[in-house]
Structure 1
């Protein structure tokens, strides 16, 4: 899979500036700007429930209306037709409907039919097969989605998102309700996708997973960015206290690892 580059041969970046989202009179996101999302890295959005993390992903993907500037390389995402935007930016929501008789392969092909209807049958099958191979799902190609484990289902949905070869991949809680092994499998797959030259951004509630897998982290609070930076530098006890309202001990090992122990609620002053 070739690495996406712009007309100058530079790696494509996703840039988000001054993004706001309103639902009626309620402001969900206010003037959000992010550090450039770079190919090869995983960026994690963390914060309490209702902070605006999922809405931010939806705004970048074009699922909800927004104001502000969003550019993917030389493309103005807001100016792209919806189908073109969905092909450039893959989006995977948190909740997945498993009540379907489609097999894994059929589900991936159905996604390609929606986003790339001009492909020949041979091209469709080649893209779908490549996505399944990449995620180790080829033995399950004929298995119904409703017969998969939670982790396998997440990988199958991820294969749908990968089959049209998006430049950026946005995932909302891809490890939700998964056991430790399946969390690892999903995150390992995302690491491989990022290493292949794609932009990967995801919402995570588990700070331990963010510490282990994310290169960069963004703390979201009250519809805005509270702090952002490299995970090792930005994942601090102070940021955790101010965003999540819990006391935590953040330990750094001799390499690049970060470990978190949650100690409890802050003591009253």
Structure 2
């Protein structure tokens, strides 16, 4: 017992922290964490708490500190300041085998110094936490759950990058740790295997596994995860439910691209276009409707113009597109003629424009 315990005062502090985290329902907690490589700041003032059963994605540009954050939780690195706690215990107080019982990591890069069969690689997940594979689980059943049981007898060195990713995930699952960390687990997978992977992670999460996963695909992040942590320049830019976190203005500020949020058939998804820097080219007012102006709206915005539109009926395709793009529009209620207020607003937009474009919109009493 004493070999694992650095001393009574430390154990008392650890015990009180563990009790506090248990009472608050926390599995992982980062408090005011800073980290640097050779005096180069990588993470600053990171605060994060994970409860058992959380399903959280980490997104952000390259170099924003995502992999470093995951490595800190796994105890691979120690913070420059602040503290990282797993079950209320600082990560530098864990031995590697102890940490393996709490946290399983699927790294971004993985290499073996010696050639093993896939089955043996998967079994290593049980050994690293001190269990016989027969007790920890069936390696081939774990591979089958990932759809790669046919690889069990192959040499790990013979596999493709995507196949290796799935095998390393199977190895991590053999640890049977309550927290699974994944660093871009789908980067080498085709679309079919990406969806199968995230479906499986969701299924494992429903069974009680806590998941913290780095990924770059914002639409997968929107669809699958309960919460998203957005990192930018080593700091937390946003944290919360995906639809609240990945607002177009947040995506533009973090990634430097235009983002458009769409809702269709009960699903939310993002599309992107480059953000042009410099002054706008001018203001264009678009007279359109019935979907005849949606494409022009996007092209004009992408080209750097300030775009207005009207008069549009609420819920019209062009009105929805304009709302997604954040355009100022003169809008009238559906299935009604243009009223005085909408007409006056449209005239104001017309007068303020440098150019007026009229799409091939049908004209009738409803929009005249």
Give the alignment's TM-score, normalised by structure 2. Answer: 0.64
Measure, in 1, the Cα distance between the counterparts of 2:180 and 2:133: 25
Cα deviation per residue 1:163-218 (whole Å; 9 max; x = unaligned)? 11111111111111322112112212211221111111111111122112121111
Higher RCO structure (Cα 8 Å, ≥6 apart): 1
What is the aligned partner in structure 2 of residue 135 from structure 1? Answer: 146
Residues in 2 aligned to 1:15 and 1:169: alpha-carbon distance in whole angstroms: 15
Q: Secondary structure of 1:33's partner?
A: strand
Equivalent in 197, 200, 203 of residue 186 of structure 1: 197
Give the conservation status (yes or no) of the 8 Å contact 1:21–1:28.
Answer: yes
Deviations 1:45-81 (A, max 9, x none): 1111111111111111111221323333344434222
Q: In structure 1, which of residues 254, 257, 261 is the aligned counterpart of residue 271 of structure 2?
A: 261
2:55 pairs, out of 26, 42, 49, with 42
2:70 is equivalent to residue 60 of structure 1: no
- Cα distance, 1:192–1:222 mapped onto 2, change above 3 Å: same
Cα offset for 1:21?
1.0
Which runs of 5 or more structure 2 residues have no equivalent in the other structure?
1-18, 280-368
**Residue segments in structure 1 that go unaligned for 5+ positions in a row:** 1-5
Q: What SS does structure 1 have at the residue aligned with 2:110?
A: coil
Instruction: Give, in angstroms, the shift of residue 120 of structure 1.
Output: 4.2
Is 1:28 matched up with 2:42?
yes
Deviation at 1:116, TM superposition (A): 2.8
| Structure 1: distance between partners of 2:258 and 2:183 | 26
* Count of residue pairs the alignment pairs up: 259
Match of 2:124 among 91, 95, 110: 110
- TM-score under structure 1 length normalisation: 0.85
Could you tell me how far apart the structure 2 residues matched to 1:88 and 1:260 are?
A: 35
* 1:138 to partner: Cα distance: 3.5
Superposed CA RMSD: 2.6
Matched, 1:234 2:245: yes
Aligned pair 1:212/2:223, yes or no? Answer: yes
How far off its partner does 1:86 sit? 2.6
Mark the structure with the bigger radius of gyration: 2
